[in-house]
């Protein structure tokens, strides 16, 4: 079988819209085009019903009630609402937030904004695998702590957080627990109730849905959580996020969530096997291959490695027809070492040589084998070139 070129292995950056998702979306652009808020006629009622169905599909993916799903433009907006909204709503209770140094910039920059507004933020360090220490988390809690925000899985190195333990700790101290699950949802089992998560951010384009649509889960009972709005307008989405709903994208988001839930177990096993094969073959054929992130507690479709004596920018340029990345898609224009890799305690040399390889639903074994060969070829060239 001939491998289609180029080969896409950057699924942590974004995923292609599944053809089944696209087919469901298409009628809502030009045929069933009603405004979901205009329910005085059939067009709006049909749109509203489609939104309600999608809301239930997404809720089912994470085991919550449909009325706890708030639609946003993506995980970045969801993260902003979670941090800024909690800080405003619970200002009477406290002014302290705990997060982590390896969080996505949407969380870190929101935290920095809160610091400028007079809030106090603790940025927990991580170990060499990218995980927070639960004892350090416990010690960081004060009577003024109102929110803990720790991402479910890191977008660069794939390390999965001890969500259950963090959730129990937050509940024990009556603190709201938010997690950025953009990379996690749809790829690993996610039961919000079992994990005591109060706020959760999710993005459709990370799970084979369209770009520009996401959601924020907001717990409504046991305990009830409230967030102040960040965007004001017509009071849409329970007053938390005003704006005309993007019905086609929401419909696609719902189908994408349903498909992920149905296919998750088999997909995770297949993609984990691909990542293990890539790491095994590269380690056998290239000197100085090092795994970044936790060896077992990690996303099944993510592999982050460093190759001694190379620079990721040179590597990516040389590969050409194999699409991989140096880290977060949000930081590709930044020439500095990844803040995530540096937080693991590695030197800038290892951080600057990191490669993120992420496989997905459309990845084939032939593509994996081709990519392995191309990476080995590129390494042979680059490791001969003086640094």
Residues involved in catalysis = 330
> Rounded CA gap, 88 and 167, in Å?
22
Are the beta carbons of 382 and 310 closer than 8 angstroms? yes
Are the beta carbons of 240 and 85 closer than 8 angstroms? yes
- The Cα-based distances of 217 to 56, 222, 244, 257, 384 in angstroms read 12, 14, 19, 14, 50
Are the beta carbons of 228 and 90 closer than 8 angstroms? no
C-alpha neighbours within 13 Å on the C-beta side of residue 217: 32
Cα angle 337, 343, 112 (rounded to 5 degrees) comes to 90
Burial 109-143 (b: 16+ CB within 10 A, else e): ebbeebeeeebebbbbebeebbbbeeeebeebbee
> Rounded CA gap, 256 and 105, in Å?
25
């Amino acid at each position: 079988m001939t491998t289609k070129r180029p080969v896409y292995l950057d699924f942590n950056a974004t995923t292609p819209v599944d053809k089944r998702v696209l087919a469901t979306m298409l009628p809502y652009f030009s045929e069933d085009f009603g405004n979901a808020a205009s329910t005085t006629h059939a067009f709006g009622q049909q749109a509203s019903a489609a939104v309600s169905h999608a809301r239930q599909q997404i809720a089912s993916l994470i085991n919550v009630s449909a009325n706890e799903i708030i639609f946003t433009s993506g995980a970045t907006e969801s993260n902003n609402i979670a941090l800024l909204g909690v800080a405003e709503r619970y200002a009477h209770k406290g002014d302290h937030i705990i997060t982590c140094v390896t969080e996505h910039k949407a969380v870190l920059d929101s935290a920095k904004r809160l610091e400028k507004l007079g809030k106090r933020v603790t940025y927990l360090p991580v170990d060499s695998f990218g995980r927070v220490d639960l004892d350090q988390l416990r010690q960081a809690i004060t009577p003024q702590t109102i929110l803990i925000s720790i991402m479910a899985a890191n977008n660069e190195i794939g390390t999965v957080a001890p969500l259950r333990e963090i959730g129990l700790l937050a509940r024990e101290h009556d603190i709201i627990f938010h997690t950025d699950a953009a990379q996690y949802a749809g790829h690993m089992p996610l039961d919000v109730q079992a994990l005591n998560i109060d706020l959760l951010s999710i993005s459709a384009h990370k799970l084979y849905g369209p770009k520009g649509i996401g959601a924020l889960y907001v717990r409504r009972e046991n305990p009830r959580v409230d967030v102040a709005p960040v965007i004001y307008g017509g009071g849409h989405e329970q007053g938390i996020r005003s704006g005309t709903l993007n019905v086609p994208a929401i419909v696609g988001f719902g189908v994408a969530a349903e498909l992920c839930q149905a296919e998750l177990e088999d997909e995770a096993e297949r993609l984990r096997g691909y990542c293990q094969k890539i790491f095994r073959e590269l380690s056998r054929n290239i000197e100085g291959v090092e795994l970044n992130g936790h060896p077992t507690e990690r996303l099944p479709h993510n592999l982050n490695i460093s190759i001694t004596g190379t620079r990721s920018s040179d590597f990516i340029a040389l590969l050409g027809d194999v699409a991989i990345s140096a880290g977060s898609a949000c930081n590709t224009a930044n020439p500095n070492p990844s803040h995530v890799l540096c937080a693991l305690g590695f030197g800038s040399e290892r951080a600057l040589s990191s490669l993120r390889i992420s496989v997905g639903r459309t990845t084939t074994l032939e593509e994996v084998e081709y990519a392995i060969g191309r990476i080995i070829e590129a390494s042979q060239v680059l490791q001969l070139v003086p640094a």
